[in-house]
A and B are shown apart, each in its own frame.
Chain A
Amino acid sequence: MAIPTTHFVILAALLFAVGSGGVLLRRSGISILLGVELMLNAANLTFAAFARQHGQLDGQVFVFFVMAVAAAEVAVGLALLVAIYRKQQSIDVDRLNIMRW
């Protein structure tokens, strides 16, 4: 028998909560970006689950788009981290308290 859609949605919700916890609580810039990735993945899982629920592929197309946006986000985010590290030898976001650098 097929797995109910609710199962996937709950798993996605838990993954999203874990990811947002990482974004809120961590201080290393890299870990924050990782948390964001986890949240995006959780959203993707919901899209795919509902795509199956409704028997349409549009949800899967959205997953595809989210993956592309995530790739773009990571490229820019990591470039920012490298730039910040070069300025102040740290990627601790708590130390990022000057607006001009």
Chain B
Amino acid sequence: MELIVFYATAAIALVSALVAVSHRNPIVNVLALVVTFFCVAVCYALLGASFLAAAQILVYAGAILVLFLFVVMLLNAPEEQAAGEPRPVQGVAGFALTAVAAIGGVLLLAAVPSAEPASPPDGHVVALGRLLVGPYLFAFELISVLLLAALVGALVLVKRKH
């Protein structure tokens, strides 16, 4: 049952990811990515990380991609022209990367005996919170400084000089 859900989710995620990077219309790109991130959230839920699933939708689908949509509409970004300078190196690199990922995946499936995963500890949200303000306190504070810096930086970048 869970496997069926996983395969369906994975298929949808891959197809929508391909649409997200290949379609010419930027709005369609963003919407396809919303679908992909939704599928990733389902994967988190399958992994037993319900907090991450909710945070994924809240942060990515609810905030980051809305911001993308906002900017696409604000700039009224035109559809990308088909003909441009050809990019042989990047194309080869992209295909090589995909091939490596696929071959590596097959090798991984063949080589690794599927170890029974240990069940994660209980009380997810509470435990996660304790980790955040315990062992990872310094990183947590750094993140808040980083977010503040990004906020100020974004403001400075888009502010018009009068």
Contact = CB atoms under 8 A, between A and B. Distances in A.
Do A's and B's CB atoms come within 8 Å in the complex?
yes
SS of B interface (majority)? helix
7 contacts: A10-B108, A14-B101, A20-B97, A24-B93, A25-B87, A37-B33, A78-B68
Given A34-B33, A38-B17, A71-B59, A6 B67 contact: no
Contacts of B139: 65
A7 B108 CA distance: 9
A82 B71 contact: yes
Interface string A31-54: 101110110010011001101111
Contacts, number: 233
A64 B52 CA distance: 7
B10 to A, nearest CB: 5
Contacts of B6: 3, 7
SS of A interface (majority)? helix
Contact of B143 (A4, A30, A52, A69): A69
B157 A83 contact: yes
Contacts of B21: 18-19, 21-22, 25-26, 31, 34-35, 38
Nearest to B142: A65
Contacts of A68: 143, 146-147
Interface residues on B, range: 35 or more
Interface of B: 2-3, 6, 10, 13-14, 17-18, 20-22, 26, 29-30, 33, 36-37, 40, 43-44, 46-49, 51-52, 55-56, 59-60, 63-64, 67-68, 71-72, 74-75, 77, 80, 84-85, 87, 90-91, 93-94, 97-98, 100-102, 104-105, 108-109, 112, 114-121, 124, 127-128, 131-132, 136, 139, 143, 146-147, 149-151, 153-155, 157-158
A67 B59 contact: yes
Contact of A34 (B20, B87, B118): B20
A96 interface: no
A54 B117 CA distance: 7
Contacts of B55: 64, 67
A52 B114 contact: no
